[in-house]
Amino acid sequence: MRRPVKKRAVIEADLKYSSILVAKLVNKIMESGKKSIANKIVYGALEKAEKTLGKPAMDVLQQAFDNAAPNMELKSRRIGGANYQVPIEVKPERRTTLAIRWIINSARSAKGKAMQEKLAEEIINAFNNTGGAVKKKADTHRMAEANKAFAHFAWGK
């Protein structure tokens, strides 16, 4: 029997931009409960991206997340003793979660700079449809396309 779906905690919008997206980004950046440091990193990165691109920070961030968020992903499904990678459509909530995760991971994997600069660079790269997060999205879409033959194994569809 399936376990019940958990009620998710509602994330409050951040103070500076009144955006839930920024609040989620801050929460994902945060390590060891140090939210003030995470706020400095995110706000600094957004200001840097705003200066570099000459557009409002929220527009830049929204476009960056849209460019990095996947439409399709693969889920393993066991059928008749064989595991198939089944392409499925990504729900909107998961899309933003994956985009945030990929942008932060590719920023963290860069070496030699402060996190604020690395995050700003990755947001700018995602805005321009380049960088690690967008590459990860392209890889995911390519894999989903390659496994399109197994789409008929998807649940409930």
Q: What is the pLDDT of residues 8-36, one digit of tens each?
A: 888 899 999 999 999 999 999 999 999 99
The pLDDT score that the predictor gives to residue 70 is 95
The pLDDT score that the predictor gives to residue 39 is 95
Overall pTM surpassing 0.85 (yes/no): yes
pLDDT tens per residue across span 82-137:
888 888 999 999 999 999 999 999 999 999 999 999 999 999 999 999 999 999 99
Taking CA atoms, 110 is separated from 26, 84, 116, in Å, by 19, 33, 12
Match 């957004």 to its residue by tokens: 46
The pLDDT score that the predictor gives to residue 1 is 84
Cβ atoms of 122 and 135 closer than 8 Å = no
Instruction: For residue 82, give the 3-state DSSP assignment.
Output: strand
Instruction: Indicate the helix (H) or strand (E) that contains 9.
Output: none
pLDDT tens per residue across span 45-70:
999 999 999 999 999 999 999 999 99
- In the chain the domains, ranked by start, together with CATH numbers, are 20-153 (1.10.455.10)
The pLDDT score that the predictor gives to residue 84 is 86
79 vs 140: which has the higher pLDDT: 140
Match 């995470």 to its residue by tokens: 38
DSSP label of 112? S
The pLDDT score that the predictor gives to residue 147 is 84
The pLDDT score that the predictor gives to residue 145 is 87
Q: Which of 68, 73, 102, 66 is nearest to 89 (CA)?
A: 73
Polymer length of the chain: 157
pLDDT band with cut points at 50, 70 and 90 for residue 156 = low
Distance, in Å, from the CA atom of 118 to the CA atom of 135, rounded to the nearest integer, reads 16
Q: Residue 87's CB: how many other CB atoms inside 10 A?
A: 21
Tokens standing for 26? 């801050």
